[in-house]
Structure formats: C-alpha cells, structure tokens
Amino acid sequence: MIKETDLNTAIWLLFLGVPLAAWQMGEIYTITLATKICVLALAGVGLNIALGLGGMVSLGHAAFFGIGGYAMGILASHAQSYAPIMETPFLIEGTKSMPVIWVLAIIMSGIAALAIGALSLRTNGAYFIMITLAFGQMIYFFAISWPAYGGEDGLSIYVRNDFPGLNTLVPIQFFALCFAILTAVIFLSSRLEHSRFGMALQATRQNETRTQAVGLTPYKIRLIAFVISGMICGLAGAVSADLNRFVSPTMLSWHTSGEIMIFVILGGTGRLFAPLVGAAIYIMLEHFLGGVSDYWQIFLGLLLLMVVLFAPGGVIGLLTKREAAHD
C-alpha cells in the first residue's frame, strides 16, 4: 500500500501542477477553482485541529470563517470609502493590505473562538455539537439583521486587496499566494501535531482521565486548540472573502460549518492532507454534478452516506489502508 507521506507529496505536487498547466493552456477558470479548493482546504486544516486531533465535533466553525471574512470586508470597505472605522477613543482606519487584514482576521476570530470555546467546552459529546451549532446560528442571525455592514446583502469589495509584490487580480498570482498560505499552514499544523501541545491534545482526545492524572487540565488544552483552530478558520475566511471579493452572512450559516466538516471527513479525519483532498473532491462534485441534474444534491448526499458507512478513514484512509486515526 501507498505510504501516507508519499501520497501527501503526490497530492501536493498535483495541486501545484494542475493550476500551472491550466495557466499554460489559458484555462483561467480551472485556476479559480483550484484557488477555491485551497481556501476551503485552509478552513478544513483549521477545523481538523479541533476535530481530528482534539476530537471536538464543532458544528460552529462557520462563525470563525465568517468573522475572518467580515474582518476583511469591514476593513476593506472602510478603506474604499475613506471613512475611519472609529475615531474615539482612538482612530482606526480601514486598510486594503492583505497581511494587515489577515492579522486582524486571526485576532478577531481567535477572540470569538475563546468566548465560544470557553462556554461550549464546559460540556462535551452531543451537547458540544449542539451548542457550537447554536452559537454559530446566533452570530449568523446577528449578521443578517445588523444593518451597518450590509446585513443579508453582504459587503462587496470591488477589487481584491493588495499584497506587496503581487497583482492579486491575476488568477495565477492569487492562486500562488493561497497555495503558499495553505502549504505554510499545513506545515505548521504538522509541527503542532508532533509538538508537546499536539501530544497533550491527542492524548486528551484518547483518554481525558489520563491527561488529568499526569497533571494537565483537559479544558485548557482543548480551549487552546479550539482557539488555534478558530484562528486558522478566520484566516481562511479572510482569504476566501478576497477570492470572492465579497462577504455575506452565508459564510456564517451552519451549512458552511457542515461543509467544512465534510471536507475533513471526506479526506480522512485527523490526517494532514485530508482537508485538501476532501475540499477538492467536494468542489469537483459540485462543479460536475451540477451540470448533470437539478437534483444533484441527492447524489452528493448518497455519496457522503457511502463514505461515512463504508469508508470511515476517508479517501486517504482508503488509499493508504491505515486504520482511521479516529474511531
């Protein structure tokens, strides 16, 4: 059977190669699709830390994804209209600089994850799933009804934000940027997985009593992981908003949470490259099945059901035949 590390390398090369080939052939839309996959995979990598390593089944990660998106939307819209976000007690101006936006998106989603996590992690199991779902919906309804930033209409940013040295409106350049971020974050999450913290997180998933007995507090470990996970989703949200040049409450809806979770599970929960593989399969299915039938979501549903029932290790699990990291 294929070794997982070899498979990962192959996947990585494929994701670099296809858009480059498409660029050569002038297939611009293929690059856009690949960029979308990268961005959604990034959110999946974030969720995978909570879900795969930490065993926290969160149905509320769309909240962090959306908050990242809105961080971008709000900063960029103020920069476009030259109206400061606030003047008292101190002046905050909007910005069109991606790095600055990313930092703020990460901070804002991290704060939200801290608040939601601190409450939700007091519970576990099914309670946790439902509570994260409910908090996500709370933020969703708030975003729809709060008129300041477009409500349900969302916010349009007519031009992509700036990144030093790049023309982000050129699809292949923006793809390269997203791919670089994804690669960096996957690398970071691999370091995290094997670090002291990663060991504590995985041990906590496997046996909470053991964690307590060695003198560590599971709640704190989970909360830190939840915040890191939320921050990555926030970054993904900001980049995704830039890809679409648009943010809206849809980013916050529980269907988005479900989809991010599907990416992770389709690929194989807890595996490093699962989100990338899962997102790629999902987006391609959406792309091709949509042309076959108006009722294509039935087939998507059936396929998902098959994966859950018969291939619990996801696609990477099928290919490597290593037993699921999570059971």
Partner 1 sequence: MPLALFAEQVLNGLQFGVMLFLMSAGLTLVFGVMGLINLAHGSLYMIGGFICAAVAAFTGSFLLGLGAALAGAAAAGVLVETLVIRRLYARDHLDQVLATFALILIFSEGTRWVFGSFPLFLDVPDLLSGPVSLPLGIQYPAYRLMIIVVGLLVALGLYLLITRTRLGIRIRAGESDREMIAALGVDIAWLYTIVFALGAALAGLAGALVGAIQSVQIGMGEPVLILAFVVIVIGGIGSVKGALIGAILVGMTDTLGRFLLPQFFATFMENTSATTIGSSLASMLIYILMAGVLIFKPQGLFGGAS
Partner 2 sequence: MTDILDVRAISKSFGALKASDNISLSLKSGEIHALIGPNGAGKSTLINQIAGGLKPDSGSVHFAGQDITSLAAPARARLGLGRTFQISQLAPEMTVLQNTVFGALGSDGRVSRFWHPVMKDKPLLEIARSALERVGLAHRSGERVSEISHGERRQLEVAVALTQKPKAFLMDEPMAGLGHGGSERLTGFLRDLKQEAPILLVEHDMDAVFALADRISVLVYGRIIASGTPTDIRSNPLVREAYLGDEGET
Partner 3 sequence: MKALKTLMASAAVLMATQATADVKVGMITTLSGGGAGLGIDVRDGFMLATQMAGRDDLEVVIEDDQRKPDIAVQLADKMIQSEDVDILTGIIWSNLAMAVVPSATAQGKFYLSPNAGPSALAGRGCHENYFNVAWQNDNLHEAAGAYANSAEYANSFILAPNYPAGQDALTGYKRMYEGELAGEIYTQLGQTDYAAEIAQIRASGADSVYFFLPGGMGIAFLKQYAASGVDLPVVGPAFSFDQGILQAVGDAALGVVNTSQWNKDIDNAANAAFVEAFQAEYGRLPSLYASQGYDTANLIISAMNVADVDDQDAFRAALEAADFASVRGDFEFGSNHHPIQDIYVREVIKEGDVYTNRIIGTGLENHADAYAADCSLN
Among residues 10, 14, 86, 199, the one that binds partner 2 under rule CB under 8 A: 199
224 binds partner 2 (CB under 8 A): yes
Alpha-carbon distances, residue 283 vs 100, 109, 170, 213 (angstroms): 29, 25, 21, 44
Distance CA 6, CA 272 (A): 12
- Look at residue 305 and give the partner it binds from partner 2, partner 1, partner 3, none, a contact being a CB closer than 5 to 8 Å depending on partner kind: partner 1
| Residues found near partner 3 in the complex (CB under 8 A) | 27-30, 32-33, 36, 141, 144-145, 147, 150-154, 156, 158-159, 171, 240, 244-246, 248, 250-251, 286, 290-291, 294-297
- Binders of partner 1 among residues 121 to 160 (CB under 8 A) are 122-123, 125-127, 129-131, 133-135, 137-138, 141-142, 145-147
Helix (H) or strand (E) holding 156: strand 155-156
User: What is the smallest separation between the CB atom of 140 and partner 2, expressed in angstroms?
Assistant: 31
Asked if 5 interacts with partner 2 (CB under 8 A), we say no
Instruction: Count CB atoms within 10 A of the CB of residue 194.
Output: 10
246-247 and 155-156 beta bridge pairing: antiparallel
Residue 60 vs residues 38, 77, 152, 221, 257: alpha-carbon distances, Å: 21, 26, 19, 19, 6
Min dist. Cβ of residue 35 to partner 3 (A): 10
Among 183, 197, 304, 311, binds partner 2 (CB under 8 A): 197
User: How far is it, in rounded angstroms, from Cα 212 to Cα 192?
Assistant: 21
Provide the minimum distance between the beta carbon of 129 and partner 1 in the complex, in angstroms, as a whole number: 6
| H runs (alpha helix) in 245-320 | 254-267, 274-292, 296-310, 314-320
Where along the sequence are the contacts to partner 2 (CB under 8 A)? 191-192, 194-200, 202-203, 206-207, 209-217, 221, 224, 325
